[in-house]
Structure 1
Amino acid sequence: MTKETIQAKRRRNAIAAIHVARAQLAKHGMDEDAYRALIRRVSAAHGTETDSSAKLDDKQRQAVLDEMRRLGATRPGRPGQYPGKPHNFNSRAMPEMITKIEAQLADMKLSWAYADAIAKRQCGVAKVAWVRKEEQLKGIIAALDVEQSKRGCNAYIDESMRRLGMGEKQLAELTAKLPKNWRRQLRCLRPVCDHLGARIEMLDQKEAEEDQA
C-alpha cells in the first residue's frame, strides 16, 4: 500500500466519521446551518476557514470530530467492554496485537466471537485465544482492517446520499454495473465513495459561490 493510498484511506475514514457524527447530532437538533457554522469555527481555529469537511486538512478533520463528540456524538466503543477477551498475553508477540484486535472490535462494536470466526476461517483455529503464531494474528488484524474500511465506506455513502438528496433508486442507477453485493467489496465501494465525494465537493463549491454572490 503506497503512502498516497494510506493517506487517501485515512482521509476517507475521517470524513466518514464526521458524517456519521453529523447524522447523530442532527437527531438532537443540529441543522445544516449549525453544522456549517461548526465547520467554519473549528477550521478557522486550526487553519484556513472552510465550511466543507472535504476541504479540511488532517488536523482540522480531527479537531472537528473531537468537537462533534464533545457535543454528544457517540464515540467508538472502548477496548475491554466486550466479553470473550483472550488470555494469551504472556507470549512476547501477543500483547500489542491482541490489544489492536480488541480496539478494532470495540470500534465496530463486535464481540470476540467475530474475531474467533476469522481465526477459524483463516487459521483453522477455533478461537483467537488459541492462536500462537504472529503471522496468523497479523492476518486477523488485516481482515478486521478490511471490515473497518467497508463499514467506513458504507457510512460515507449513506451520509453522502443524504447530503446530495439521493434516493435508493438513484444509487441503484449509479451502481447498476456493479455486483449485487457491491457494498461488501472494497474495490466497488471506493470508486462509489470517490464519485459521491466529487459530487459533494462540487455542491459545496456551488453553495460557496452563491453565498459570495
Structure 2
Amino acid sequence: MLDRAILAKIHVAKKQLAMEDDAYRAMLQSVAGVASAKDLTVVQAEKVLAHLRKCGFTPAAKFGRKPAPARDRKALVSKIEALLADSKRPWAYADAMARRMFQVDKIDWCTPDQLWRIVAALQINANRHGS
C-alpha cells in the first residue's frame, strides 16, 4: 500500500502545477499505467513524482520553526537566521549545533554568549564555503 505522505505529495504537485483532472489522469496512465493515484505502487509513485518534478513541481522546503528569542537575543537570532538561509540549512541545524557545542537542546535556550559562538561558527563555515 502506498504511503499517505507520497500520495499527498503527488496531490500537492497536481495543485501546484494547476493540472486539470483529465490531464492528471492521462499523466498517471502514461507514466504509471494506472487511472488513479491510489492504485500506485511505491515504485510507480516515485516515477510519477520524478515526472512531476520535470514538469516544474518544486516541493516546499521544510526549514522548521523560527525561535522566539528574548529581546536581548533577537539580533543574534536574526543573524543566525540569515546565515542559515544563505547556506540553505534548516533551523534544526542550529539546534543541533547548540546540542553539540553546549549540550542545550534548542537554540531558544542559549545564552547570548552561546548565540555569539554559534554565529561565529556559522560565519566561519560560510567563509570556508565561499558564501
The normalised TM-score by structure 1 is 0.33
2:26 corresponds to 1:37: yes
Percent identity over paired residues: 33
Pick one of 2, 8, 16 that aligns with 1:16. Answer: 8
Pick one of 29, 43, 46 that aligns with 1:62. Answer: 46
What are the superposed Cα offsets for residues 76-104 of structure 1, whole Å, 9 maximum, x if unpaired?
4399xx7444xxxxxxxxxxxxxxxx99x
Letter in 1 for 2:97: A
2:114 corresponds to 1:130: no
Letter in 1 for 2:56: G
Q: CA deviation at 1:41?
A: 0.4
User: Are residues 63 and 83 of structure 1, via their aligned partners in 2, closer, same or farther at CA, if it must alter by over 3 Å?
Assistant: farther
Query: What is the RMSD of the two structures over their aligned residues, measured on CA atoms?
Result: 3.7
CA distance in structure 1 between the aligned counterparts of 2:39 and 2:57, rounded to whole angstroms: 21
User: What SS does structure 2 have at the residue aligned with 1:131?
Assistant: helix
Q: CA deviation at 1:131?
A: 1.0
Structure 2 residue runs without a partner (length 5+): 64-80, 107-131
Q: CA deviation at 1:50?
A: 1.1
CA distance in structure 1 between the aligned counterparts of 2:8 and 2:83, rounded to whole angstroms: 29
Q: CA deviation at 1:25?
A: 1.0
2:38 corresponds to 1:51: no
The normalised TM-score by structure 2 is 0.51
User: What SS does structure 1 have at the residue aligned with 2:12?
Assistant: helix
CA distance in structure 2 between the aligned counterparts of 1:83 and 1:76, rounded to whole angstroms: 19
Q: CA deviation at 1:69?
A: 1.3
User: Are residues 78 and 70 of structure 1, via their aligned partners in 2, closer, same or farther at CA, if it must alter by over 3 Å?
Assistant: farther
For this pair of structures, how many residues does the alignment match? Answer: 86
User: Are residues 84 and 61 of structure 1, via their aligned partners in 2, closer, same or farther at CA, if it must alter by over 3 Å?
Assistant: same
Q: CA deviation at 1:128?
A: 2.9
Flag the structure with larger Rg. Answer: 2
